[in-house]
Structure 1
Amino acid sequence: MSFNRRKFNRLLLAGTGAVVAAPFVRAQGAWPNKPMRVIVPYAPGGFTDVMARLVSQHLSTRLGQPVLVENKPGGGSLIGVDAIAKSQPDGYTFGVVIAAYAANMTLYQKLPYAQKDLQPVSLIGVSPLVAAVNKDLPYKTAQQMIAFAKANPGKISYGSSGNGSAVHLSTELLKMLTGTYMLHIPYRGAAPALSDLIGGHIQLFMDAASGLIQPIKTGKVQGIGVASDKRLPALPDVPTFIEQGIKGFTGSTWAGMLAPTGTPPEVIKRVSDEIAQIVKLPDVVSRFETMGVIPSGSGPQEFDRFIEEEIKKWGNVIKTAKITAD
C-alpha cells in the first residue's frame, strides 16, 4: 500500500481535533449534573418571588435539572444578596434581584458585599410603576393631583413599601419634576399601603402594576398614571405621566438574575441565552402581560449597563432628597 501524506495529515488533524474537543465536550456535558438554586432576597409571594419561580420552572425543564427557589428575606434584601455574593461560583447558585439592588448601592453607606462580587446574567423583565389615588378624592388625573399638591403643600400623603424602595424613590422623583411637596408614609410592604389607600388614610400610592391592576379594574382605587413611555396593555385606559405633560418621568421595578463573580462564563452565557428564550414563550408572555411586566431577556453586558444606569439615576434621587435607609 502506497503512503499518502496528504491523507495522513488530514487524519492526523482530525484525530488531534477529536482529542482537543473531547475535554470541551465532557466539560460542557458536566454542567448541570445536580440541582441548582435561585436565591430570592424577599419573602415568598411577592413580585421578585413570582418572577424567580416562573423563570426557574422553565430553566429546570430546559436544563434537565431541578432549579430550586430559596427565599432569604430580611435587611432590605441585603441578607439574600449577600448570600448570592458569597456562594460558590460553581454555576449552581444564582439569584434574582429587583430595583432595590441598584438603589442600595447609594442608600447604604456600607454593604456586606461589593458590586464586584456579583455577575449580571440577564434582565428578565421590567414592570413600570402605576400610580393610584383614593377613589373618593376630587382629583382623577395626574395633572389634577399635581395642581392640588401645589395649592395644598403637604396635604397629600403617599405610601411606599419602605424607605429606599422603587416606589419611594419614584414618587420622590415625581415631586422633584413637578415642584410639589407630599408627605411620605413608609410601610412594611405594599399590602398595608394599598389597604390604607383604599381606606382613605393616604391619598397616593405607586406600585408595580401587578399590585394595582385588579384594584383599579374593580374600582377600589383610581388609576392616574403609568410611569413609563408607553401604556400598559393590562391597563389601556390609564395614561402615562409623560402623556399628561410630566416629561421624563419614568419609574419601575424590575427583575434580573445575578450570579456570584467567578461563575464560569460559558455557564453565564448558557443561562442568559435560556432566559432570552424563556421570556418569549407564550405562557410566559401571557403571564407577564397580566402582571404588567415588559419582557427583556437581555444579555450580561446589556444588563450590566442597565444596572449602572439605575445606580446613577436613583443615586441622584437619594442624594438630592436626602433619603436614608432608616
Structure 2
Amino acid sequence: MPSLSHSLTRRQLISAATLSALGGAALAQSPATWPTRAVKFIVPFPPGGPVDTTARIATQKLGEIWGQPVVIDNRAGAGGVVGASAAAKEAADGYNFFVGSIHHSVNPWLMGKLPYDIEKDFVPVSFGAMFPIFLVAHPSVPANNVQELITLSKKGTVLSYGSSGNGGGTHLAGELFNMEAGTQLQHIPYKGSAPAMTDLLGGQIQLMFADAPSALQHIKSGRVKVLGVASKKRSSMLPNVPTIAESGGLTNYEAYSWAALFAPAKTPENVLKKLNVDFNTALSDPAVKQRLIDAGAEGDAGSSEDMRKRLQGELQKWKKVIETAGIKAG
C-alpha cells in the first residue's frame, strides 16, 4: 500500500497537470497567443475559382502574421451547401472557419430548407472581397451605354444574356436589372462563366453579366463592349467605366459577388476579435491588395457588425429578386 506522502504527491501531480492543461487551453484562446496550431478554413467551392483563390491569398498572409500554418479545405457541392453544412458542424474552438460567398445569402430562398441555419450556426467575422460584375455586350449590339440598352430592349429587340448558372450571382444581377429597368432580357444559363463568355464572343448571346475574372481580358482586348459595372461605386480595375446606376439612371441598382469570413457559432469572442483585426491587417497589405486585384477581386474587410448588416441586406435583396423572378435551383 503506498504511503500517505506518496498518495499526496500523486494527487498533487495530477492536480497540477490538470491545471496546466486548463491553463494551456485558456492560453491558446487568449488574444496574445492564439493561434498555437494550424487553422482551417472551409471553402465551399473547388480549387481555382474566384472564392478559393481569394481565400488562399488572404489566408496565406494570415499564416505569415500568426507564424502558424493555415489549411484550405475545399468542400464543393450543391452551390455551396455542402461546405456550409460541414462548417456548421465543426468545433467552435477557434481553429475552424468558413469562407462564405453570395451563395450564403441566396441559398435559403433558392433551395428552401437547408441542413444549417445561417444566423444560428454562423457568426460573421468580416467581409473579405468583392468581385465586380460588368455588363458586357457583343460588338454587334447597337448600344454603347446602359440607357441605350434599356431603350433598345423596350423597343422590342430580343436580347439574351448569359450567366455562370441558374441562381448564381451573375444570373441574379440580370434579373435585378430587369426589375429595376423594366426590361425583359432573356436569361441563358451555362455551366460556368467560361462557356457563357465563349458564346458571347461568338455572338450566340448578346449580353453577359460577367464577373471580373471572366470579363477583364476581353474588355481590355476590345472583343466585348463594356456598358457598366454593377456595383454602387466604380471599380478600381476599370475606373473609367460608369456604374450601371449612373449610366442607366437606375439609382437602386447594385449587384456584385463576394467572399466573406464566418465562424461557427459559439467561437470564443476574443478569438473572433483578434481574427477580425488580423484579417483587416492582411487585406490592407499592398501586396495582398494587388494579388487580389490581379485575381479579379477588390479586398474590403471591416467589422463583424458591418458584415452582419451587409448579410442582412443581401438576404433581403435576393429574396425579393428570387421570388419576383420565380427562380428555382438549377
TM-score (norm 2): 0.87
1:146 aligns to 2:146 (yes or no): no
Identity of aligned residues (%): 38
Say if 1:127 and 1:209, in contact at 8 Å, map to a contact too: yes
1:194 aligns to 2:177 (yes or no): no
Give the whole-Å Cα distance in 2 for the aligned partners of 1:213 and 1:287: 15
**1:210 Cα offset (Å):** 2.6
Say if 1:232 and 1:292, in contact at 8 Å, map to a contact too: no
1:121 aligns to 2:125 (yes or no): yes
Give the whole-Å Cα distance in 2 for the aligned partners of 1:292 and 1:39: 21
Which of these residues, 174, 177, 182, is aligned with residue 177 of structure 2? 174
Report what 2:271 is aligned to.
267
Report what 2:4 is aligned to.
none
Q: Read off the aligned partner of 2:297 and give its amino acid letter.
A: V
| 1:79-118 matches, cutoff 5 A | 79-115=82-118, 116-118=120-122
SS at match of 1:119: strand
**1:48 Cα offset (Å):** 0.2
Report what 2:3 is aligned to.
none
| 1:278-293 matches, cutoff 5 A | 278-293=282-297
What are the Cα deviations for residues 201-227 of structure 1, in whole angstroms up to 9, with x where unaligned? 111111222321111001121111111
Give the whole-Å Cα distance in 1 for the aligned partners of 2:140 and 2:130: 31
Say if 1:177 and 1:246, in contact at 8 Å, map to a contact too: yes
**1:292 Cα offset (Å):** 5.0
SS at match of 1:324: coil
What are the Cα deviations for residues 11-54 of structure 1, in whole angstroms up to 9, with x where unaligned? xxxxxxxxxxx876564266322211111111111110111001
Give RMSD over aligned pairs.
1.7
Deviates more, 1:133-142 or 1:261-270: 133-142
| 1:160-309 matches, cutoff 5 A | 160-244=163-247, 245-309=249-313
Q: Read off the aligned partner of 1:46 and give its amino acid letter.
A: G
Q: Which runs of 5+ in 2 are unaligned?
A: 1-22
Q: Which runs of 5+ in 1 are unaligned?
A: 1-21
SS at match of 1:168: helix
SS at match of 1:279: helix
Say if 1:126 and 1:294, in contact at 8 Å, map to a contact too: yes
What are the Cα deviations for residues 79-128 of structure 1, in whole angstroms up to 9, with x where unaligned? 01111111111111111111111011211211111111111111012223
Report what 2:15 is aligned to.
none
Give the whole-Å Cα distance in 1 for the aligned partners of 2:295 and 2:139: 22
| 1:32-43 matches, cutoff 5 A | 32-43=35-46
Give the whole-Å Cα distance in 2 for the aligned partners of 1:59 and 1:184: 40
SS at match of 2:245: coil
**1:322 Cα offset (Å):** 1.2
Runs of 4+ in 1 over 3 A off after TM superposition: 22-27, 288-294
Report what 1:76 is aligned to.
79
Give the whole-Å Cα distance in 2 for the aligned partners of 1:27 and 1:201: 56
Query: Closer, same or farther in 2 for the Cα pair 1:152/1:31, shift >3 Å?
Result: same
What are the Cα deviations for residues 121-164 of structure 1, in whole angstroms up to 9, with x where unaligned? 110122231110112322222122211211125x2111111121
Give the whole-Å Cα distance in 1 for the aligned partners of 2:246 and 2:198: 28
Give the whole-Å Cα distance in 1 for the aligned partners of 2:230 and 2:28: 48
Say if 1:198 and 1:221, in contact at 8 Å, map to a contact too: yes
Say if 2:29 and 2:268, in contact at 8 Å, map to a contact too: no
Report what 2:53 is aligned to.
50
SS at match of 2:148: helix
Q: Read off the aligned partner of 1:167 and give its amino acid letter.
A: T
Give the whole-Å Cα distance in 1 for the aligned partners of 2:289 and 2:36: 29
